[in-house]
Structure 1
């Protein structure tokens, strides 16, 4: 008689759902997914929630395999010695293998006043609160978005397209990932939407007050609503549970995504740091890492040697409202090419990417093991060489 294996997945985002679905390939594996919300949140839509063009929720029945048990709760601690996790409102849940996919959320801003007076946008709850604040603000109120990455750009464009008076404070370059050609296109589109873009030297935020944003060049910007979109942070669950993490709190793993402390724990998505060289935080990477984390677990169950992660980034998408966008093609090492698609075509490609990020999960639920992605193993070798490191251990015995 085949012994049953219990696998617990912590986190029901892109990485966690992909991993949970993929694990159902084996009939002798019981999969439990623990998530604090009863709905799936397509985070690529959160700026649309703020702008009122999408609710940014999907029923788990649409993306989660029928065989996966969903527990709506928050894990407060992982007991690796006892192989169990402690939910906030229930009894401990045991596991044979654990997938750590807790994702990321709003960073804790260290700028004076930002935590008190600025509104984050990185989670469903934060985006809903911000939407309520925007709706109650006067139509001519000054709105300031802090952060020049995709989240900041997309939120600023979405609000401006709704007729809001928006200033985007970059703290440096606008869209630093983008190729200069694509960056100029983004700047022109934002200008047409009426967004006041403050980039370059002197645009670092030094303080936020109830009605103003202060910059390091001495300027004081009137701001009735300040949006904080400057970076992401990961939960501290791994560190609190005695597992080693990188400086940002991501679980340290080898190239198979296995924890350096416990081979029964694997990580995926924004909360994983393979060889202390984490991939760019993104829904695309999360789905691929979730699939690979599941493959690592399945290999160990089967007594096989897990393979190292192999992933390349084909593009980055940024929406500029509902009618324009940037589809920035990328080299395998995740640096921007000169080639990009802008305008309405860019918006359509961005929308396709958003839809497919959810469709991939649904497809994996129906046919576990089917998800594939572009490979770029040379990229990981180059990154390790750049950091002066020898290749990390790519396998462990089951």
Structure 2
């Protein structure tokens, strides 16, 4: 390709910013990042927004280089045939290549009363709206957190540490991703904080009212404030635009993250479903996928064949209040091991990782192409699963919650 190449990135989260910064390696590439808000959100800190001890935002001027143009707007439709995007303001932006990194959010809970009476915290705006609700509730009012993944555990711990009376409803098991040894450690810490953990086969919420949560076994838990952290969903932009998606709406791609419909559309982050084997929602996957997406586009501009992705995991970190945390070690294929780092050391590692994810973006903006984590791992279980699928054997992936 000759002349200037216009590349547009939809979504300014971990994957989108990594991709945009990396694309500035070439002087003949114009990079535009479209995001609905003017600041970067540290999504892994939203539980701290709820607790009131962090604002979880970073000015884009701190993480985007001068070579990236920021457009604060929302994309309402992708015209793949016309290589253009329709924006909520009525404007239209054209592109030569598009990186689809719209991220993820909450799913419709489909539980009676949840939409009316439960408070989701999957976005910055939702977390901010919850703050005054908690502030208005009496100090000892019962608070129920629904969902025992990392966000649910972290939110319950933060609120309990501040003196709130918290019940954590797991739906099934506390910390589904965790190894039993790590789960016991988390359960012990929550107990010391005074969090009541409700788990087991009947710990599924069947209804939410203004002042209570009802469970599958008929129990009713009093709840002045109900916080909903369960479920996962992605924006329906790709589906509305006529592109192929998986059952949850993630853009279907090949192993170079290229859309199965259009070679000029590449996906990254939570909204990508490479080979219909998407990775766990995490910043661990977002950074490498963002770098891979940029590399795929740069390879196509250079007339080269893009490399296939290689993403490896180290584990999962969970804060348990401000002074304690846990890092659950895992295989590179994302299966939890029996080993974990807990206590104050776990908390320090968690904070180091939270700060480090932003630093990675800053470093890539200052020296585009320097990020290498997506090239550190060799062929493994994912490739075995893909080969099995091509041989006609059903493909399944072991995924952490």
TM-score in terms of structure 1 length: 0.96
> What's 1:383 paired with?
385
1:368 alignment partner in structure 2:
368
Deviations 1:147-202 (A, max 9, x none): 01001000100111110000000011100100100000000000001100001121
Taking the TM superposition and a 5 Å limit, the aligned residue runs for 1:74-85 are: 74-85=74-85
Unaligned runs of 5+ in 2: 394-401
Residue 139 of structure 2: aligned partner? 139
For 1:386 and 1:157, the matched residues in 2 are separated by 42
Give 1:395's aligned residue. Answer: none
SS at match of 2:380: helix
Matches of residues 249-398 of structure 1 in structure 2 within 5 Å? Answer: 249-373=249-373, 374-384=376-386
Shift of 1:65: 1.5
In structure 2, C-alpha distance between the alignment counterparts of 1:136 and 1:63, rounded to whole Å: 36
Deviation by residue 1:281-334 (Cα, 9 ceiling, x = unmatched): 101211110000000000000000001110110111011011111101111110
Would the aligned equivalents of 1:202 and 1:217 in 2 still touch at CA under 8 Å? yes
1 CA distance for matches of 2:353 and 2:389?
32
Contact 2:109 2:231 in 1 (8 A): no
The aligned runs of 1:1-398 (5 Å cut-off) are 2-373=2-373, 374-384=376-386
| CA RMSD across the alignment | 1.3
After TM superposition, the score normalised by the length of structure 2 is 0.96
Q: Secondary structure at the match of 2:286?
A: helix
**Secondary structure, counterpart of 1:78 in structure 2:** strand
- Cα deviation, 1:255-278, whole Å, max 9, x if unaligned, reads 000000000000000000000000
SS at match of 2:372: coil
* SS, match of residue 233 in structure 1: coil
Rounded to whole Å, the distance in 2 between the matches of 1:386 and 1:356 is: 36
Answer yes or no: is the 8 Å Cα contact 1:257–1:296 preserved in 2.
yes
The runs of 5 or more residues in structure 1 that have no matched partner are 392-398
Aligned-pair CA distance for 1:390: 6.6
Residues 1:125 and 1:223: Cα distance change in structure 2 (over 3 Å) = same
Alpha-carbon distance in structure 2 between the residues aligned to 1:56 and 1:334: 26
CA drift at 1:384: 2.7
